[in-house]
Structure 1
């Protein structure tokens, strides 16, 4: 059986990062920390199309809040990203986000989460 995996991410750069390591992924983009009707409909759509859907938001306060809302409403699991792996310094400012993760790290984290979910659902 083919496993179809979906992710709820904050931005289009996050979407690109996920698709760079898993091109066949289904993605719902919230366009920041918005949580409105369109986002809910996009999440419902990938839940209907996928075997498993994860929340993959930035490891910061807005990302944590968004993940909490989504997880509570839809019962989705969140993939936690190590903030140290998601740091970028640009123009003297520190940025934290999924899109800044090294592709090797991101692939490892996503693979581990999927393996854990498959294993726990087979118990």
Structure 2
């Protein structure tokens, strides 16, 4: 599988994992303190070939994703679940630990960032679905992010991410139906 866009990852081990799974070029941020030189490389990549941000499903990875999104418009996003990014020994989390299949599936399900989209999903919809507040809210957000392939977010960022990836109310409600059916089956 050949990827036209340049994939932004956190480090060398992530590049190695990506190259095991697909034929692609990468830019490494080398941590969450991204300097202006790296941002300029990402801007150039976005102008010439496009960019896919593929960071670890943890706080530093989300910080990198947010920094790049704020600086470079129109990036695409690939996400792994925490389970897919966890090594067999259970220590750590990262793209470098994901299987070839998980990486390929994440890249096939890339989401494109869109501007000026107003979702018909309201904040009240999120509260009523048990995604904000309550004992199971975090778990439900994790399941929703996995089902919609938009990654995990906290309650505050969920509405923004649903808009950013133009998730329709129909897609949202379908995903919630699946999640609620799974919960009832347990």
Tell me the TM-score range normalised by the shorter chain.
0.7 to 0.9
2:12 is matched with which residue?
Answer: 12
1:38 is matched with 37
Note if 1:64 corresponds to 2:62: yes
Give the TM-score, by structure 1 length. Answer: 0.79
Instruction: Give 1:1-123 correspondences, 5 Å limit.
Output: 4-23=4-23, 25-50=24-49, 52-75=50-73, 76-88=75-87, 94-113=91-110, 117=112
Q: Give the drift of 1:26.
A: 2.3
Query: Cα offset for 1:89?
Result: 5.5
Which segments of structure 1 move beyond 4 Å, counting only runs of 4 or more? none
Q: Name stretches of at least 5 consecutive residues in structure 2 with no aligned partner.
A: 113-164, 166-186
1:110 Cα offset (Å) = 0.6
After superposition, the Cα gap between the structure-2 partners of 1:62 and 1:21, relative to the gap in structure 1 and judged at 3 Å, is same
How far apart in 2 are the matches of 1:41 and 1:104? Answer: 31
Q: Give me the CA root mean square deviation.
A: 2.2
**Secondary structure of the residue that 1:94 maps to in structure 2?**
coil
Which of these two proteins has the greater Rg computed from alpha carbons? Answer: 2
CA deviation after TM superposition for structure 1 residue 22, in Å:
1.5
Would you say how many aligned residue pairs link Structure 1 and Structure 2? Answer: 111
Contact 2:53 2:65 in 1 (8 A): yes
Please, what TM-score do these two structures have when normalized by structure 2? 0.54
Q: How far apart, CA to CA, are the structure 2 residues paired with 1:46 and 1:15?
A: 16
Q: Distance in 2 between matches of 1:35 and 1:99?
A: 19
- Would the aligned equivalents of 1:71 and 1:77 in 2 still touch at CA under 8 Å? no
For structure 1, list consecutive stretches of 5 or more residues without a partner in the other structure. Answer: none
The answer as to whether partners of 2:80 and 2:102 remain within 8 angstroms in 1 is no
Structure with the bigger percentage of strand = 1
Relative contact order: is structure 1 or structure 2 higher (C-alpha 8 Å, sep ≥ 6)? 1
Q: Per the alignment, do residues 55 and 16 of structure 1 end up closer, same or farther by CA in structure 2, a change over 3 Å counting?
A: same
